[in-house]
Structure 1
C-alpha cells in the first residue's frame, strides 16, 4: 500500500465573505490594466470569532509595517495619521455613550495583501507564482472549489476558495480567503484613520503597544482605558474591510508594475473621484450638534412656506449645499445658505455678550464652544429641562426630548427673526418675488427642463454643467469612436439648454433690479432708451446682492446686530439701569427696525437713489445718468473697511445699520446711540491713521515729525471724508470734538485693521 504524504498548509488565517474584482492602472507601452481580486468581509471586537483577533493582530497602519526612509510608503499611499484626531473624534464615534447598542459603520477599510521576504519585513515586488485549479471534495470540503493560490502548498502566501455550484464558482456564499500571516503584511491603503480607531481600542484591550513601532503612539490613546472600553457592547462594533490581492503580479509577470506601484494605483483609483462632503452639508446633517438641530428647525419653517404665505420666501431661496467650504452663494435663485443661517444661529446661542465690541471683528472661536450656559439662559433652559438635565446637556450631548423643548423656545425668541429678516428686508423680498415670477414663467412655458435645474434641486445645475463640460471635452479629445454625430448633437442640445438657462437667469436679475428700484418716483433715472432697466443699473444691482446682501457678514449683522442690542437693553432694564421703563416688545422693535432699513435700501426719490449709490459705489457723475459713476473716497468700504469682509467682520456692517436704525423705546434707543458713538470713534481713529500713514509714506516722514499744520490737514481730510459718508447715509453729523477725543482714546490698529496700501479713491 502506497503511503500518501500530505503537506501541511502554511495558511493560518481564514476569512469568509464576498469575492469581487476591479481593475487598476495601465502599464507603459499600452500594457493592460491589472485585475484586483478582493474579499469583502468585516472585522470587529467580538473575540468569540477567532478570525477577528487574528486579523486585528495582523492589521497595522503603513507606518508600523515598513521603514518609510527606505520605501517612501507615506508618499506611495497615504499621509501620516493624525492620532489626535483619531483619539478625539473617531474613537468616541465607536464608543458613543448616546448609542451604546447601535451598530457603528465606517466605509470599508481597504487593505492590500502585501507579500514580504521570508524572515524579513521588506515587501516583495511579486507574489510567488499564482495557480488556478479546481479542488475536488476532500476531508471537510464537501463541494468542489475554484482555488486561486499564490505559492506551493506548504509555503503559500494566499489562497481564494470559491465553491462551485452547477459548474460556476460562487461569489458570495462560503467564499474564503486564506492568508499566511508570516509571509504577508496587511497594508491599509485607504482608511488608515478609521482602522486606527478600531486598532486603538483593540490594543488597549489586549495591551498590545509594546512593539517599538507602536509604542510612540500609545500615549495618544491612553485616555481610553480597558475598564472604560469594557463598558460598551463591543460585539456590535463590526467594520467592513476589503482585502485586495493582485494575482497577475506573480513571479512570471512581465509587465512594468510591481506590488508598490499596484498599491499606489489602488489608492489613487479609490480616491481620485472621491468627493469631499461639503461644509454646508456637514452642518445640515450633523445630528450631534445642537446648533445644527436648531438651524434645521429654521429651515423646516421656511420649507413650510407656500402660496398662501403673505411673503415670497421659499426653501428654493436657501442654498442647501455648496462646493467644499465656500460660503458665497452660487445658486442664482438663493438669497441665503446653510452657512449663513448656521453662523447666525451659533452666534445667537453661544455668544457670551462680550465677543462684539464696536467695529472690531467678532472675537472667539465658536466651533469649540460645547458648554450651553448662554443658550440655556436665553431659552430659559433650566426651567424647561430641569436643573439635572440642564447641568449635563452639551452642544454635542443631548437627548431628542431636550432638543425639542429648547427648539420650541428658540423658534419664538430667535428663529422667527431670522425668517423675518429673510422675508421682510426689502432687497430680500424683491429677490424672492422675482424668483417666484421666474418659476411661474417657466410653468407657463411648460419648460420641464429648466425648472428642475433652477428651482427643484440646487445640485442639478452643477451636475448639468459638469456633464456638459465633460462631454464637450471628450469630444474635443476624440474620446468617442462610434456614434460621434449623435453625441455631437447631444452636446449641441446641452449647449442650447445652457444658453436658455443663462437667458433665464439674466431675465431674473433684470426683473430683480426693476423691483428693487420699482418705488422710484422718477423711474426714467434707471431706464435706458428702450424703456427697460438700464444694463448698468442691473450690473450695479447684481454687485450689491453679490458683495453685500447675500454675504454671511451682512446677514449676520442684520439679524444678530438687532438681537444683540435688544438683549443688552433687556439686561439693563432688568437691572433697573433705565429707571421705570416698559419692557421691550421685540416684535414691535423688529417691525420698526426693518421699516427703517427698507426706507434706506429701497430708494423712493432721486435723492435717496444717489445717496445709496454714493454709499456703496461712488460719486454720481451725471444727475441725468445716475449709472455714470466715478471713484470716490467716501464710500462705506473706503471709510470703514478696505479689506475683504470675512464673516467675523460683520460688526462693520452692524455699524452701518446703527447709523440707519433709531428705535423709539427709550432704553433701546440709549443702547443703540451708545454703540453708534463707540463705533464712530473707532472708525474715525482707523481712517485718520490710514491717512496719516499714507502722508508719512509719501513725505518720507515719521509720525512724530509732522508739523502742527500737517496734523491739522490730515485731521481735516479724514473728518471731511467721513462726514461725506455720514451725510450720504442721512445720519446725524459728526461731532468734531468727539472725533478729536477719539484719536487719543481709541487704538486705531485695534479697530478696523485699515490697509495702508489702499488708495484714497478706493471704490466700494
Structure 2
C-alpha cells in the first residue's frame, strides 16, 4: 500500500473575524492602484482567548520589531511613540474608574503583515507567490483560500466560507499566520496599540526583551494589582490586518510592500491627528525632493562603522516635533527639514530667488515643473531619461524608473557634496565625534536607559520629561490612592535618570568643545585646570545651538557654493573655457570656511568670539565680554535668523571664500560686492534710525555732519568685522569704495522664468492656507 505523506502547514496562529478590501495609490506618474485585502478582528485582555494573547506577544511597534540601524530609509514606516502621552492619556482611558464596566472604543489599529527576508530580520519587498483556490475545510465546509507561499512555507492564508456559490465576507472567516516568517507591523494606531500592549506586558511581565526594556519605565505606575481592579474582559480593541495579494513575486509594477505600507499610513493620516512635516517628508513617495532626501539620509545611515568620519544617523533629527525647524535633540546636528529645504533650493531655485542678502523669495512647495525651475537642466534629465520621458516627468508625477535614475543623478551632482559637507565641515565633525564617543561609552556600560533616550528615538528625551511631569501631577491629585508610595518611588528613579541624562549631555558638550578647539596650538590658555573653561564650553554650545545646527547656516554653506558655481560655469561656457572642477573647488571652499571655524590659535579663537558675540577683554578664561557694534548680527542682521534669511549667512560665506578658478573668483567677487553694498546701506540706515529715535529728531533735520557720522560708524563696524573674518587691513576697500558699490545684482538672464509676486512662505503659513508645504 502506498504511503500518503502530507506536508505540515507552517501557519501557527489562527484568528476569526471578517474580511474586506479597499485600494490605495496611485503611485506618482501612474493611474495604478493596489488592492488591500484586510481582516478585521479584535484583541482583548481576556486571557481565556488564547489567540489574543498570542497576537499581543507578537504585535509590537516598529522600534521593537526591527533593528532600525539596519533598516533602509524606504523601510521606515512610523514616527516615534510618545510613551508619556500613552501612559498619561490612553491607558487611563482604558482603565477608567468611572466606567470600569463599559467596553472601550478605539478606531481600529491597522497592522500590515510583512514577510521577512530569509535569514534576516528585515522586511521583504514582495510576498511569496499568492494563489487563490477553492476547497473543503476539516468540518466539510466549502471555502475559498487565498494563500501566500507553498504549503509548509506559508506566510498567510485567508479562509472564507462559500454559501450558495457566494464567498462570505463576514461570518466564520479565518486568517492564519506564520509568525516565524512574518512581522505584524503597526502602520496606524501605534499609540493605541501601545496602551493595550503596556497593560498586557505589565500583567504578564513581558518587558524582559532587550528591545522592549528601555520603555518599561514609562508604564511602571500601572501595576498588576492596580490593573486587575478593572473588568479586563471588557477591554477590547479592533484590529485590521492588511495584506496586498497582488504584491507577490510575480508583480511587475512600481509598488513594493514597504511603499504600499507607507501609502496606507499617509492615506489614513491625511485627516487624522497631524503627523510632523518631517515624518511626512520621509514617507512621501509622490515627491522627488523626498526621494532625494531619503537618498542622502540612506548615505548617512549606511556609513561604515569603521569610517574615519563620525556622522551617524542619530545626528539627524528624523521626527522633529510638529513642524519645528530648530533641533531639539542634543545629539542631532541637522534634521529632515534642514536637508529637505537645502535640496529643494538647490534643484528648484530661480536666478532672482536670492538677491544679495535679501530673504529668499518663492513658494517652493508650488514648484512642480522641473523644466521651468531648472531641476531638469541641473539633473541632465533629457539625457538621462530621454526627451519624451523628461517632458512628462514632474516633481509630483514620475515613474519609479525615472525617479531612481534622477535620484542617482542628484546624488552625483549634489547629494555627494551635501554629504561631504556634513562629513568634512569641521564643527559638524567635532559634534559627531563627541556624540559617537558618548554612544560607545553607553554601549560599553550596557546602559539600557540612557542610550535609547539619547540615541534611538529622538523624541524620547521630550517624552521622558513629559512623563515625569505627568506622574507628579497624578501624585498631587492623589489619583493612585494606596499605590502613591509606589509612584513616589518611580518618580525618584526617574529623577535619578534625569540627572544621569543631564550629566551625559554635559560630558558630551565638554568633549565637543575639546574637539572644537583641538587645532589651537596654545589651547591650555582655554582651560580651567584640566578641562576647557565652562564659559568657553557655553560659548561653543551656543554656537552649535544657534548657528551650526540652524537651517539658515547649513543652507547658506551648501547653497552659496552651488549658486556661485552654477553662475561661474555659465560664464566659463560663454567664453569657451574648460568646465570648473567642482570637486577641487569644493575642497578649497571648505578650507576657506575652516579659516574662521577652525581657529589655530587663541588669537583666532578671540576673533571667532568677536564675530558672533563680542570682544573678550583680559584673559579669555575670565570671559569678560564687551558688547561691540561689529559682530555679524549687529552689522548684517539683528533679527531672528529664520530659514528664509539664509542669504545673510551667504554674505559671510562669500567673505570667507577664496576660489581657485578665475571665472569663479570673478563671480564670487561680484556677488560679494553686491552683498557688501546692501549690508553697508542697511547699516547706515539703522544707525540713522537709532539716532533720530534717541534724539527725537526728524530725518529731514539731520545735519551733513550727523549723516557723515552714520556712514563712518557703519564703515568702521564693517571694516572690523571683515578683519575678524580674515581680511587684512590693506585688503579692505576704503569707505569711499563702499559708498560707490552697487546694491543691485547683475542683470538676470532673460531665460529665467518669472514668478510674480512671490515671497517666501513658511510651512506654518502654508498650513494656514490649508496647503501642506510638501504639496
Aligned counterpart, 2:279? 281
Partner of 2:431: 431
Per the alignment, in what secondary structure is the counterpart of residue 357 of structure 1? coil
**Residue number in structure 1 paired with 2:606:** 610
Q: Structure 1 CA distance, aligned partners of 2:568 and 2:703?
A: 45
- Is structure 2 residue 30 aligned with structure 1 residue 98? yes
Q: Does 1:670 pair with 2:670?
A: no
Mapped pair 1:729 → 2:725? yes
Deviation at 1:583, TM superposition (A): 2.1
Q: State the alpha-carbon separation in 2 of the partners of residues 688 and 485 from structure 1.
A: 66
CA distance in 2, matches of 1:626, 1:565: 41
Distance 1:712 1:432, change over 3 A: same
SS at match of 2:738: helix
1:689 counterpart residue number: 685
Aligned counterpart, 1:300: 298
Q: Offset of 1:474 from its aligned partner? A: 1.1
1:477 corresponding residue in structure 2: 477
Change (3 A) 1:648 1:700: same
| 1:363 aligns to 2:361 (yes or no) | yes
Task: Identify if the C-alpha distance between structure 1 residues 97 and 680 changes in structure 2 by more than 3 Å, giving closer, same or farther.
Answer: closer
Q: Per-residue displacement from partner, 1:264-292 (whole Å, max 9, x unpaired)?
A: xxxxxx99x97421011111111111100
CA contact (8 A) 1:691 1:718 kept: yes
For residues 689 and 633 of structure 1, what CA distance do their matches in structure 2 show?
Answer: 14
- For residues 607-626 of structure 1, the C-alpha deviation after alignment (integer angstroms, 9 at most, x for no partner) is 20111011001011214536
Between the aligned partners of 1:384 and 1:95, the Cα distance in structure 2 is 21
Distance, in Å, in 2 between the alignment partners of 1:331 and 1:674 is 39
Alignment partners' CA distance in 1, 2:742 and 2:31 = 58
**Cα distance 1:636–1:104, how it changes in 2: closer, same or farther (>3 A)?**
farther
Matched, 1:549 2:481: no
Q: Say which of 684, 701, 708 aligns to 1:712.
A: 708
Shift of 1:627: 2.3
Could you give the per-residue CA deviations for residues 503-557 of structure 1, whole angstroms, max 9, x where no partner exists?
Answer: 10110001101111122122233212x3211111111111100110000000000
Match of 1:598 among 591, 594, 602: 594
Please name the residue that 2:116 is paired with: none
User: How far is the alpha carbon of 1:386 from its aligned partner?
Assistant: 0.9
- Offset of residue 682 of structure 1: 0.3
Name which one, 1 or 2, has greater alpha-carbon Rg: 1
1:295-353 deviation per Cα after TM superposition (whole angstroms, max 9, x unaligned): 10000011101222121111111110111110101111111000000000000111122
The separation in 1 between residues aligned to 2:622 and 2:383, in whole angstroms, is: 57
CA contact (8 A) 2:510 2:537 kept: yes
**2-structure distance, mates of 1:713, 1:309:** 55
Deviation sequence 1:573-605 (CA, Å, 0-9, x none) = 1111xxx64321111111111112112111111
Matches of 1:728 and 1:672, distance apart in 2: 20
1:364-394 deviation line (CA, Å, top 9, x unaligned): 1101101001111011100111111111111
Structure 1 match to 2:695:
699
> In the alignment, which of 342, 363, 375 is matched to residue 340 of structure 2?
342
| SS of match in other structure, 1:396 | coil
Query: Are the structure 2 counterparts of residues 343 and 541 from structure 1 closer, same or farther at C-alpha, using a change threshold of 3 Å?
Result: same
* RMSD, aligned CA: 3.1
Listed as ranges, the gaps of 5+ residues in structure 2 are 1-15, 41-168, 174-267, 746-759, 761-775
Which segments of 5 or more consecutive residues in structure 1 lack a partner in the other structure? 1-18, 21-39, 46-91, 109-170, 176-269, 747-752, 754-764
Q: Which residue, 297, 314, 327 being the options, matches 1:316?
A: 314
Distance 1:105 1:728, change over 3 A: farther
1:372-391 matched pairs, under 5 angstroms: 372-373=370-371, 374-391=374-391
Contact 2:478 2:484 in 1 (8 A): no
Aligned residues: 505
Q: Distance in 1 between matches of 2:21 and 2:557?
A: 52
SS of 1:683's equivalent in the other structure is: helix
Q: Distance in 2 between matches of 1:95 and 1:656?
A: 43
State whether structure 2 residue 415 is matched by structure 1 residue 415.
Answer: yes
Asked if the contact 2:680/2:714 (under 8 Å) is kept, the reply is yes
Report the equivalent of 1:570.
Answer: 569
1: CA distance, partners of 2:343 / 2:743: 37
Match of 2:93 in 1: none
Shift in alpha-carbon separation, 1:595–1:43, aligned structure 2, 3 A: closer
User: Is the CA contact 1:526–1:627 (under 8 Å) kept in the aligned structure 2?
Assistant: no
- SS of residue paired to 2:621: coil
